[in-house]
């Protein structure tokens, strides 16, 4: 994971957040690293929930064992969610991805965005951070993203968006994702974080001379296609030999700590990592969100 300068280590102190469509907790780790506290989680998949529990019970056992670790978001009453400052959600990407059928809001999973909106409408957080595939930017000729923007602005929020690359934020993965940020106080100025150099390469991760400095995007399906297949994403040439990614490699490519534990099969672990976020990229965005909130709060206190 990325190192923080001393003056930013606690930039999220005093802030609370919720982790929706939480997966295995990439958002949680990113904001926890900045000093913020998670007060509610929602994740539907039973295998991802198990991995989440195993790794976060040492951080916040009370949260993990409580009814604040929710499942199906469509069945969660927003009134029962504790108050919080920042909403985080890496909501389902299949309706907007190249790999999916691109049905957008016609796909039931696409409508899960509106569960985010109803929670924002009820709880009125100070800010939100949303993540999705880059294909959302141009889906339906841009009308899908425009609709999301209109919904969030109608709830009283600003809306900033940008495609970011994981390898611009320290980890060797060609992972491009659309990040969306908004503030209830529309006067808050926001800029997405500036890129910084790689902190590790695929040679470092795979323990030999790899022909690629930056790796392919981690995916959910198509594992084991092989070097000669155009769909290959998990096999590399290292010291002249083919090497296939294992979870311990993929963890580093996503910026997870080395002691992150998977109580599931290797196949499930790779699926969960392919569905996760690149922690250093999310942490860099969250850092800027907290900086913007702190600046506005300081200005208002003068």
Please give the positions annotated as active site: 93
DSSP 204-267: HHHTS-BS-SSBPPP-SS-TT--TTSTT--SEEEETTEEEE--HHHHHHHHT--TT----S-HH
Q: Are 231 and 222 in contact (CB under 8 A)?
A: yes
**212-215 contact pairs (CB < 8 A, 24+):** 212/236, 213/172, 214/167, 214/172, 214/173, 214/174, 215/172, 215/173, 215/174, 215/253
Q: Which residue blocks in the chain are alpha helix, DSSP H?
A: 26-32, 46-56, 61-64, 113-123, 143-154, 202-206, 247-254, 266-275, 279-301
Residue among 193, 273, 159 at smallest CA distance from 2: 193
Residue among 27, 45, 44 at smallest CA distance from 36: 27
Q: Given the structure tokens 């902190």, which residue do they identify?
A: 199
C-alpha–C-alpha distance, residues 198 and 212, integer Å: 13
Print burial letters for 160-189: b (CB count within 10 Å at least 16), e (below 16).
Answer: bbeebbbbbbbbbbebbbbbbbbbbeeebe
């Amino acid at each position: 994971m990325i190192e923080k300068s001393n003056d930013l280590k606690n930039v999220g102190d005093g802030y609370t957040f919720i982790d929706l469509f939480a997966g295995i907790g990439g958002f949680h780790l990113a904001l926890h690293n900045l000093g913020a506290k998670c007060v509610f989680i929602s994740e539907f998949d039973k295998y991802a929930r198990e991995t989440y529990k195993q790794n976060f019970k040492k951080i916040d056992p009370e949260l993990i064992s409580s009814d604040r670790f929710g499942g199906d978001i469509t069945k969660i009453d927003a009134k029962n969610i504790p108050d919080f400052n920042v909403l985080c959600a890496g909501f389902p990407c299949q309706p907007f991805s190249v790999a999916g059928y691109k049905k957008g809001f016609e796909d039931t999973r696409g409508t899960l965005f509106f569960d985010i909106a109803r929670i924002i409408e009820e709880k009125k957080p100070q800010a939100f951070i949303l993540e999705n595939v880059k294909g959302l930017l141009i889906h339906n000729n841009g009308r899908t993203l425009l609709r999301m923007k209109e919904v969030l602005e109608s709830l009283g929020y600003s809306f900033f968006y940008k495609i970011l690359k994981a390898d611009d934020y320290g980890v060797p993965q060609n992972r491009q994702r659309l990040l969306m940020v908004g503030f209830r106080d529309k006067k808050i100025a926001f800029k997405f974080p500036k890129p910084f150099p790689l902190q590790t390469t695929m040679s470092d991760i795979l323990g030999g001379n790899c022909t690629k400095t930056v790796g392919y995007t981690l995916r959910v399906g198509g594992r084991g296609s092989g070097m000669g297949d155009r769909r290959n994403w998990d096999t590399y040439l290292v010291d002249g030999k083919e090497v296939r990614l294992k979870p311990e490699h993929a963890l580093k490519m996503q910026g997870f700590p080395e002691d992150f534990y998977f109580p599931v099969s290797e196949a499930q672990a790779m699926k969960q990592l392919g569905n996760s976020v690149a922690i250093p990229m999310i942490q860099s965005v969250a850092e800027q969100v907290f900086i913007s909130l702190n600046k506005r709060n300081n200005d208002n206190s003068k």
